[in-house]
Structure 1
Amino acid sequence: MNLSVIIPLLNEEESLQELHNWIVSVMDTHNYSYEVIFIDDGSTDHSWSIIKQLSSENPNIKGIRFLKNFGKSQALHAGFAEAKGDVVITMDADLQDNPEEIPELYRMIMEQHFDLVSGWKKKRYDSVVTKNIPSKLFNWAARKTSGVQLNDFNCGLKAYKNVVVKNVEVSGEMHRYIPVLAKNAGFGKIGEKVVKHQARKYGSTKFGMDRFINGFLDLITIWFLSRFGKRPMHLFGALGSIMFIIGFVAAGIIGVTKLYRLGNHLSANLVTQNPWFYISLTTMIIGTQLFLAGFLGEIILRTKNNEERYKISNTANI
């Protein structure tokens, strides 16, 4: 099978029929073998009824329905598990992603051998204040933090080799960072293509400003997991050791100063009356806790199954 098109959605009943017809037209024009997987993420309108109808009319249409709204990452995870096409395309259901981009995305994966190609909505039809400016700031921070040089991490229109989607774990709200997850899994050839962005035709956006706050929090999480997820001792152990040494040296200086003043018959307050003593003691305690956190993290990693420690893309003569 050439293509799997994965479409997560929430309350998009008005656009589903039109989107389906558009995708089918593109597939038929280029003679692709394909499947379209709609993931209904807990819709409360008639979206699921429409998906069932489309599936009964077209054997290439499949549907997955969640009992409630679990989020886009979980929807994509379910779609990735079902995808059978050589190339997997993800796109939104609100008609803002253009299916006419699919053939070029497919070509870039198959002929230029990209592992992943992300769309870039260079010209947008969203609000400048509530979406465009926050999105530019978010993308800048994501590039600097992850090292993946994409202009639009948030674009839902992406293409993947099938092996990529089978080896990335999309959880929480990490759908924005699938290119980073792919890079961390060893898929380094990541490209970008300028795609058409269309104004929303039906309904209203499901995202508010909170998605950017959550996005930055997720960015911190994925930065930590990327750099220290397999070696927590390198972070916590180093910080803990530095803090303990600083606290120990500070406590030692306080003690030596006390002994010096006593030896020279100078007035000296009790060590416990010196606020710096408690600061140094607290520093040593926090340093010890950080070191233990890193140590426990290493123990947990070493008790996990070996297959979770790395990904194998292929084997030969084994």
Structure 2
Amino acid sequence: FGKSQALHAGFRQASGDIVVTMDADLQDNPEEIPELVRLIEEEGYDLVSGWKKKRYDHALTKNIPSKLFNWAARRTSGVKLHDFNCGLKAFRKEVIKTIEVSGEMHRYIPVLAKNAGFSRIGEKVVRHQARKFGKTKFGADRFINGFLDLITIWFVSKFGKRPMHLFGALGVLMFIIGSGFALYLGIDKLFINPTGRLLSERPQFYIALTAMIIGTQFFLAGFLGEIMVRSKKNEPRYTVSGEINLVPRVKEYSS
């Protein structure tokens, strides 16, 4: 069913306090695992991702597209990682039990973790070994799918809890543009040039009509999105990462 579904199934079954993922193509070195675990245990990270700083892949088909992909992911998500798609990662148990990896979102697990409230995300340079056996399961379509997934996760992370802020703003903007054209046509026809062309013969009429219809549709899409978000009563909207015990101070007075 794909890498994302495999990771999601593994996350559901995992029971350890720290969980490590690693690709099965032997390009990741298992000797890196103890240091990843140490960073979580001693440095307090929620997630530590590997960074294949020196890659043994074809530069044109993998290295250059990977750099562009990681740059776009950093800009849109705000997560400062150099290698989002590195399969070698270590997680706290709370992270993998909270996020849901579906579709082809395995590329954006750090972003999913950040959106779930886990902000302590780090990275470590790891050794990347040349492929000795087998061949890659991902073709050229991974670039298109990755780009579409990036747009999806950007939208979900920014407007997933408040879709009206996007669709409502676009709707209002389009409706104002359409109303402006309609007002101009009305004033021109009634007061400036009443004997001129019919309104249906002027392109501004169709611009106004189209803009107002699109604006209304955008606004309705945002309204329906808000209803859908608020109807998900069982979906957690936040993650509690710790507790603070407040011990009341008792003042002592001496006579």
Query: Shorter chain as normaliser: what TM range?
Result: over 0.9
**Normalised TM-score (structure 2):** 0.93
Is 1:143 equivalent to 2:71 in the alignment? no
Alignment equivalent of 1:157, drawn from 81, 85, 88: 88
Deviates more, 1:308-317 or 1:267-276: 308-317
The AA in structure 1 aligned to 2:228 is I
What is the TM-score normalised by the length of structure 1? 0.75
2:220 & 2:94 partners in 1: Cα distance? 37
2:210 to 272, 278, 282: 282
User: Are 2:15 and 1:84 equivalent residues in the alignment?
Assistant: yes
Higher strand share: 1
Aligned match of 1:125: 56
Greater shift in the superposed pair: 206-215 or 151-160: 206-215
**Matched residue type, 1:270:** L
Supply the AA of the counterpart residue of 1:131: K
CA distance in 2, matches of 1:238, 1:307: 26
Distance 1:308 1:113 in 2: 24
Residue of structure 2 equivalent to 1:294: 222
Matched residue, 1:203: 134
| Residue 272 of structure 1: how far off its partner (Å) | 1.2
Amino acid at match of 2:232: K
Question: Aligned residue for 1:256?
Answer: 187
Residue 222 (structure 1) aligned to one of 153, 156, 172: 153
Q: CA RMSD in A?
A: 1.4
Question: Gaps spanning 5+ residues in structure 2: where?
Answer: 246-255
Mapped partners of 1:135, 1:307: distance in 2: 33
Deviations 1:162-193 (A, max 9, x none): 10000111111000100001011110010010
Cα offset, 1:312, TM superposition: 3.3
3-state SS in 1 of match to 2:48: strand
Q: Is 1:245–2:173 an aligned residue pair? A: no
Other structure's SS at 1:308 match: coil
1:74 aligns with 2:5: yes
Distance in 2 separating the partners of 1:128 and 1:314: 44
- Alpha-carbon offset, residue 86 of structure 1: 1.1
Q: Secondary structure at the match of 1:294?
A: helix
Whether the 8 Å contact between 1:77 and 1:171 is mirrored in structure 2 is yes
- How far residue 108 of structure 1 moved from its aligned partner, in angstroms, is 0.3
Q: 2:252 maps to what in 1?
A: none
Q: Hey, what's the Cα distance between the residues in 2 that align with 1:316 and 1:79? A: 32
Describe the SS at the equivalent of 1:207.
Answer: coil
Residue number in structure 2 paired with 1:170: 101
8 Å CA contact retained: 2:117, 2:238: no
**Deviates further, 183-192 or 205-214:** 205-214
Contact 2:46 2:119 in 1 (8 A): yes
Contact map agreement 1:261 1:267 (CA 8 A) in 2: no
- How many angstroms does 1:310 deviate by? 2.6
Structure-1 separation of matches of 2:144 and 2:113: 23
Q: Give the structure, 1 or 2, with the largest relative contact order (CA under 8 Å, sep 6 or more).
A: 2
- Secondary structure at the counterpart of residue 43 of structure 2: coil
SS in 1 for 2:148: helix
Deviation at 1:303, TM superposition (A): 1.2
Contact 2:50–2:87 under 8 Å retained in 1: yes
CA drift of 1:261 comes to 3.0
Q: Across the two proteins, how many residue pairs are aligned to each other?
A: 245
Q: CA deviation at 1:316?
A: 8.2
Residue type of the alignment partner of 1:102: I
1:87 touches 1:160 (CA, 8 Å); kept in 2?
yes
Report % sequence identity.
73
Instruction: Determine the C-alpha separation between the residues in 2 that align with 1:161 and 1:310.
Output: 17
Any idea what the Cα deviations from partners look like across 1:184-243, whole Å, max 9, x if unmatched? 111001001000000111111111221122111100000000000000000000110111
AA matched with 2:13: E
Runs of 4+ with >6 A deviation: none
Identify unmatched segments of 5+ residues in structure 1.
1-69
SS of the residue aligned with 1:166? helix
